[in-house]
Amino acid sequence: MKIYHNPRCSKSRQTLQLIQEAGADVEVIEYLNEVPTKEELKLILMQLNLKPTDLLRKGEAIYKEKFKNSDFNDDEWIKIMLEYPKLIERPIVVKGNKAVLGRPPENVLDLL
């Protein structure tokens, strides 16, 4: 199991805590420091069954300043998310071929 984690985010910390309390083995990926590859992000989106725009943190200042009201295609949004990983919603938990967004943190229980 992997968690794409931001330790400064309370939802991310709560999701990680649920995983650890369940005793599951988890690889913690601090995605702001270890940005996923384009292929990894595409796979995560497929596993989540989401489009790139569904995974954007639209409340972030960088989104509002640079990208609000922009009309990009999916590949362009993926490139933007990789360039500005802060725009990727978190936490994302992946187990096998399934993934969930830890909002709310209890979503991770589906993978445990």
Note the pLDDT tens digit of each residue in 6-27.
Answer: 999 999 999 999 999 999 999 9
As a whole number of angstroms, the distance between CA 5 and CA 32 comes to 8
As a whole number of angstroms, the distance between CA 62 and CA 9 comes to 17
Any catalytic annotation for residue 9?
yes
pLDDT at 95: 97
- Average pLDDT of every residue of the chain: 97
Write down the catalytic residue from 1, 2, 9, 67: 9
Q: What top-level class would CATH report for the domain 2-111?
A: alpha beta
pLDDT at 91: 98
Instruction: Say what the pTM is.
Output: 0.94
The residue extents of the domains of the chain are 2-111
As a whole number of angstroms, the distance between CA 32 and CA 88 comes to 9
